Amino acid sequence: MTSIQQQVHTWLEEGRVDIFLAYRMVEGHPLPHAFTRERIDETDTLVTGPARYSLEKFATHIASRYPDAKIGMVARDCNQRALNVLQVWNQLKPGQVDTVPVNCCPSLLKPHADCSYLEPKPAGHVKLERGQDPNQSLAQADTLPRAERFDRWMYEFSKCIKCYGCRNICPVCFCKDCSLEHPDLIGTGHLPPDIPIFHLVRAVHMAGRCIDCGLCEDACPAEIPLRLLYRKVNAIVKDLFGYETGSGDTLPPFSILGDKPTMSPQPLLAVSQE
Amino acid sequence: MTLKRMTFLQHLLDFMGLAGRLHLEWISSAEAQRFVATVTGFTETIRRLGPSPLRSAALRRYDNISAAPVPCSGPASLQPPAMPDSGIQIANG
């Protein structure tokens, strides 16, 4: 029994948590699984590895049904950031979720790392020619001329098959009524989706919420570089409001009015002539 | 709050390559001249920027999708049926 299996076993046995969310090996595949006291022997099959899922999303579903449940889960840095955001947005009570930290992004102090995003897919020649390379930096994406930037983003968005995978996997998408399904706003059942509205609506809703876990991009069957887009969203929120999403328990700038205005409307034409 | 959201959206649209097409201004019902000046100025701005690229992008995509199917060399009964109306609405700029 590995130390993490032992720890989860002890936590369940002692009643520190009622349910523990982690991964379990099923037919050679690590799948998300809820370990409980009633079936405590299952902890023998608990595994750690590069597989990622938004376990905190399960936690919010459990918490909404059983508000007093004590939930445990394995957490990478991105899971922890998501938990912070979900607490800020009142989806989880503070202290309701107990975490066991697991390996995550590499660093000089921590040579071993586990994450499905560690080796991003290299962009093929069509993507490099017509689309947006998901591995480029924000600064690179910003340096292209506006018209080219627009064409490249529209090429990426035009591949969308409107599967809602990005929203479904997103750990911080918790709204009961989603704008992307509302019949008066976007609506379901029509293909192809209205671009860029579909993607921009989602991007706007990610402001002050996105914790840059990259699961949306992992999930996207059309390989739209969503993480790059939402990184820009985070960068704007940080530049304009000095707010770092997921870092703490402060409310995002779009949830508070503040006691005095700190901004003024943008000038009529902030466009440099290109 | 509106100001925060609009400023954010202006930056996001700029990142996508659609800068200068979104403008926010507070005008009281008593400020008719300011309203005229703002609308006139913004109309000029938009005219300088030219037609919205969204329209041409939508048309381009429409062309790609409704491209004629490759003719098959069988009897007429085997010919592919006419493409149904794809129901795409061209976005207004």
ipTM: 0.82
Give residues with Cβ within 8 angstroms of A75, minimum separation 6.
A55, A56, A83, A99, A100, A101, A102
* Pair A160, A205 in one domain: yes
Nearest CA distance, B81 vs chain A (angstrom): 20
Is it the case that residue A20 has pLDDT exceeding 90? yes
Name the CA radius of gyration of chain B, rounded.
22
- The Cα A10–Cα A15 span in angstroms is 8
For residue B72, the model assigns a pLDDT of 47
Residue A248 pLDDT more than 50? Answer: yes
Q: Average pLDDT for residues A46-59, to the nearest whole number?
A: 88
Q: Which amino acid is at A211?
A: I
Residue A19 sits in which domain range?
3-101
Q: What is the pLDDT of residue B81?
A: 54
**Percent of chain A scored above 70 by pLDDT?**
89
CA angle A75, A249, B9 (to 5 degrees): 100
On the question of pLDDT at A202 being above 90, the answer is: yes
Q: Cis peptide leading into A192, omega within 30 of 0?
A: yes
Tell me the domain boundaries of chain B: 2-62
Provide the pLDDT for residue A229.
Answer: 92
Chain centroid to Cα A7, Å, comes to: 27
- The verdict on A88 and A139 lying in the same domain is no
A7 and A49 inside one domain: yes
State the pLDDT at residue B4.
87
B67 in contact with chain A, both atoms CB, cutoff 8 A:
no
- Cβ <8 Å between B16 and A151: no
DSSP SS3 for B42: helix
* Same-domain check for residues A147 and A84: no
Per the DSSP assignment, residues forming a β-bridge with A21 are: A34, A73
Flag whether A115 is in a domain. Answer: no
**pTM for this one?**
0.80
Q: Chain A window 226-265: which residues touch B at a Cβ cutoff of 8 Å?
A: 229, 232-233, 236-237, 239-241, 253-254, 257, 261, 263-265
What is the DSSP track for A190-246? -SS--TTHHHHHHHHHTTTT-----HHHHH-TT---HHHHHHHHHHHHHHHH---TT
Instruction: Please check whether residues A87 and A158 belong to one and the same domain.
Output: no
Q: Give yes or no: residues A240 and A130 share one domain.
A: yes
Nearest CA in chain B to A207: B8
In this structure, the answer to whether residues A135 and A238 fall within a common structural domain is yes
Chain B contact set for A232 (CB, 8 A): 12, 15
Q: Are residues A245 and A129 in the same domain?
A: yes
Helix (H/G/I), strand (E/B), else coil: B14: helix
Res. A226: pLDDT tops 70: yes
Residue A53 lies in a domain: yes
- Which region among A186-195, A264-273, B6-15 has the lowest average model confidence (pLDDT)? A264-273
Instruction: With respect to residue A107, please indicate whether it lies within any of the assigned structural domains.
Output: no
Q: Could you tell me if A158 and A220 lie in one domain?
A: yes
Assigned domain for A259 exists? no
Distance of CA A247 to the CA centre of its chain: 14
Q: What is the DSSP string of A53-107?
A: --HHHHHHHHHHH-TT--EEEEE-HHHHHHHHHHHHTTSS-TTSEEEEE---S-B
Q: What is the pLDDT averaged over residues B19-34?
A: 89
**Which value, to the nearest 10 degrees, does the dihedral of the CA atoms of residues A236, A237, A240, A244 take?**
-120
- Statement to judge: residues A139 and A70 lie in one domain: no
Give pLDDT tens digits for B30-82.
Answer: 999 999 999 999 999 889 888 888 877 766 665 555 444 444 455 555 555 55
Give me the number of domains chain A comprises: 2
Query: Is A151 in contact with B45 (Cβ distance < 8 A)?
Result: no
Whole-angstrom Cα Rg for chain A = 21
- What does the pLDDT read at residue A141? 87
pLDDT tens, position by position, A55-102: 999 999 999 999 888 999 998 888 888 998 999 888 888 888 989 888
In three-state secondary structure terms, A20 is strand
- C-alpha A28/C-alpha A47 separation (Å) is 11
Query: Mean of the per-residue pLDDT values for chain A?
Result: 85
Query: What was the pLDDT predicted at B71?
Result: 47
Is the same domain home to A129 and A239? Answer: yes
> Is residue A271 predicted with pLDDT exceeding 50?
no
State the pLDDT at residue B63: 56
Whether the CB of B85 is below 8 Å from some CB of chain A: the reply is no
Within-domain flag for A155: yes
Q: Do B6 and A265 touch (CB under 8 A)?
A: yes
Q: Is residue A66 part of a domain?
A: yes
User: How do strand A29-36 and strand A19-26 relate by DSSP bridges?
Assistant: antiparallel
Are A177 and A237 part of one and the same domain?
Answer: yes
